[in-house]
């Protein structure tokens, strides 16, 4: 179980955090869930900086990223991750309540792997999170370890 990659949840809404954790738990995923409550903390985690400097080298199986975050917005986090050769293979799912077409378009321009609008209903939200967790943590086949394929871009 030590080789299971964590799931990084970047969300500032306490209710959405609670629901997401409950849904992932119900999916019986053994992956550790790491929570960052703003974009700056998420970048520190992913870059292994600040309070996260000692975290294991292993990248998350997926980043569930809210669009509207304090300190550093979700689109800025996405741009930073996909713009860094060391992190660009980390799957990022934009998980947001935004239905703005411009947010959708910009997310895909920046390299998001999926864009999911949070369902309004509790049951639908719960099911969507369960499906996301199972797909990205269990079914998706990630690339080999990044040191095996990253060139000196």
The per-residue pLDDT for range 99-119, each reduced to its tens digit, is: 889 999 999 999 999 888 876
Domain spanning 7-139 has what CATH number? 3.40.50.2300
Angle (CA) 142-101-8 rounded to 5° is 30
Confidence at residue 120, expressed as pLDDT on a 0 to 100 scale: 65
Domain segments of the chain: what residues?
A: 7-139
Residue 152: per-residue pLDDT: 47
Residue 55 sits at the vertex; the CA angle it makes with 53 and 59, to the nearest 5 degrees, is 110
Beta strand pairing call for 114-117 and 62-65: unpaired
pLDDT, one tens digit per residue, over 1-48 is 457 889 999 999 998 899 888 888 887 778 899 999 999 999 999 999
pTM tops 0.95, yes or no: no
* Dist. CA 87–CA 67, nearest whole Å: 19
């Amino acid at each position: 179980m030590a080789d299971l990659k964590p799931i990084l949840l970047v969300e500032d809404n306490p209710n959405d955090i609670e629901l997401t954790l409950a849904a992932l738990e119900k999916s019986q995923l053994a992956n550790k869930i790491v929570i960052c409550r703003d974009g700056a903390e998420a970048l520190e985690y992913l870059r292994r900086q600040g309070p996260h400097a000692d975290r294991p080298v292993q990248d998350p199986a997926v980043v569930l990223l809210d669009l509207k975050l304090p300190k550093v917005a979700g689109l800025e986090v996405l741009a930073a991750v996909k713009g860094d050769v060391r992190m660009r293979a980390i799957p990022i799912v934009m998980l947001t309540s935004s239905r703005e077409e411009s947010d959708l378009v910009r997310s895909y321009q920046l390299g998001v792997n999926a864009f999911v609008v949070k369902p309004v209903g509790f049951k639908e939200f719960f099911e969507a999170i369960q499906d996301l967790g199972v797909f990205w943590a269990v079914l998706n086949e990630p690339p080999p370890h990044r040191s095996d394929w990253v060139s000196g871009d």
